[in-house]
Structure 1
């Protein structure tokens, strides 16, 4: 079995209003050294070993469902795990 971890975040050129709100709260807590906060999404996907081209499958899932590729970017990590 494979465990795939996917991280989706806004592209650097896209304003992240949630990240800005959290940054403002962090500054109000007195942590003025924090310069930027970006909010993202995290997914864990389990894929059977039957899958021949796991990277292609994950790319398609991310492009079609998990990320809005116009505004977001994603990265993933594939690990083989024993069950």
Structure 2
């Protein structure tokens, strides 16, 4: 691979990872806000909640993976054009 290819790949992957790191906590927070009443009402133990949110994080990332790719391409190409 040429130097320019590596540069573009690194910049794109960085943008994609930033999209993941920005949107996944937002999804977790929204889901937690929706379910906190049921969690507290049923007195669910913390390990079960932690396991649920670990699984939810993987599910949420896989569900929105195409959107993250699309947004990353748009963001990356707009930054590259500058």
Same-fold call, TM cutoff 0.5: no
Q: Greater strand percent: which structure?
A: 1
Q: Greater helix percent: which structure?
A: 2
Task: Report the TM-score, using the length of structure 1 for normalisation.
Answer: 0.29
Structure showing greater radius of gyration is: 2
